[in-house]
Amino acid sequence: MQLYNKLSAMERTALIEKAGKDRLTLSFYQYAKISDPQKFRDKLFIAWHALDVLGRIYVAKEGINAQLSLPAERFNDFKAYLDTIDFLKDIRLNIAVAQDNMSFLKLKIKVRHKIVADGLNDDAFDVTNIGVHVDAEKFNMLIDDDDTVLVDMRNHYESEIGHFKNAVTPDVDTFRESLDIIEDDLKNHKDDKNLVMYCTGGIRCEKASAYFKHKGFKNVFQLEGGIIEYTRQVKDQGLENKFMGQNFVFDDRRAERISDDVIAQCHQCGSPFDTHTNCANDACHLLFIQCETCKAEMNNCCSEACKTIHALPFEAQKELRKGQANSNDIFKKGRADHLPHKKDLRNIFDKFPNKS
């Protein structure tokens, strides 16, 4: 019985190409009590492997967070299987805005302490007392209100390439960092402002809204289904799209184009560009924004030092990496000191004169 992925990305790519069938990329999450996450994880792997599901799925005692792809022709079978699980029956599935057959190349289902690393003690507050879910139409109305503070609950490298107009975009590397920053900066407006939040698919806002209500915020709202569902509703209903740029996604597509606006710049030359890449030097692997011109000139590397190493024979690179840990730059997500046009740090509320 197979319980783990056994194929390399290269082998999987060949199989997908040979099959010649369209795949569907989607995501979903659900907070629920799972008594035995490992048993549940193995059950999912057996069923989803049979359906040729690929993706990155986290299972914990508090629920499931899934980002995956599957053959489009197997979608109904996949949905039918979800419906056999009580807490996943009729679950909303966020269908990706931009489809790519190679968005995922392995099936990885991991048991984690939490489905989102929020750093919170869930026993300290009621995690079910969440904010008001709003659809795209209501969301547009709320963010036009002068009494609303719109907060992006994603990390800096996500909001850098795309965000809603007039949104507060915290300069943080992780979700957990943003919670206390936002609470502290808005502590004088817990009664008189609408706190409206959004993220990629809604999962981060689910926990954050309960946390902020626990902290005393009276008017807490969250965008139902996040940016992905918002984009679908805007298109289907002919609403005004208030999102600028690209939506960062955590698979091999890297981003989905939501509007034609390019609000970011190449971290090496400063020209308008909004697509991330990873440094080709395996000992670095820094995530940063690199335009096509710089990609060609730098051989997909973030620095001259990495370019030199990447040009060495593979065995020589392995020898250099032996016994060496990855550079800490890998965690900076585009803020490494050697990038001349990296995103500047700033106070996230500086551009909101009406919030004090």
Task: State pTM to two decimals.
Answer: 0.88
pLDDT score, position 325: 62
pLDDT of residue 195: 97
CA dihedral (123, 124, 129, 132) positive or negative = negative
By CB neighbour count within 10 A (0-12 exposed, 13-18 middle, 19+ buried), where does 248 fall?
buried
- Give the integer Cα–Cα distance in Å for 208 and 218: 14
Q: Which residue has the tokens 């000139």?
A: 297
Say what the pLDDT of residue 337 is.
Answer: 86
State the DSSP code for 71.
E
The whole-angstrom separation of Cα 115 and Cα 289 is 28
- Contact call for residues 134 and 140 (beta carbons, < 8 A): no
Is 266 catalytic? The answer is no
Confidence at residue 349, expressed as pLDDT on a 0 to 100 scale: 52
* Residue of 199, 266, 291, 294 marked active site: 199
Instruction: Classify residue 232 by its DSSP letter.
Output: H
Closest CA to 160 of 70, 62, 273: 273
Q: How far apart are CA 216 and CA 94, in angstroms?
A: 31
| Separation in Å, CA 139 to CA 20, 134, 155, 252, 289 | 39, 6, 21, 29, 30
The phi and psi torsions of 244 (rounded to 5 degrees) equal -110, 125
Alpha-carbon distance of 85 to 122, in angstroms, equals 24
Domain architecture of the chain: domains with CATH: 9-111 (3.30.70.100), 124-238 (3.40.250.10), 276-331 (no CATH)
Closest CA to 294 of 310, 312, 270: 270
Give me the helix-helix angle, 37-50 and 75-82, nearest 10°. Answer: 160
pLDDT tens digits, the chain, 356 residues: what are they?
A: 779 898 999 999 999 999 999 999 999 999 999 999 999 999 999 999 999 999 999 999 999 999 999 999 999 999 999 999 999 999 999 999 989 999 999 999 999 999 998 888 888 999 899 999 999 999 999 999 999 999 999 999 999 999 999 999 998 988 999 999 999 999 999 999 999 999 999 999 999 999 999 999 999 999 999 999 999 999 999 999 999 999 999 888 999 999 999 999 999 999 999 999 999 998 898 999 999 999 999 999 999 999 999 999 988 888 888 776 655 455 567 778 899 998 765 555 554 444 33
pLDDT score for 319: 83
The token duo for 195 is 């706190």
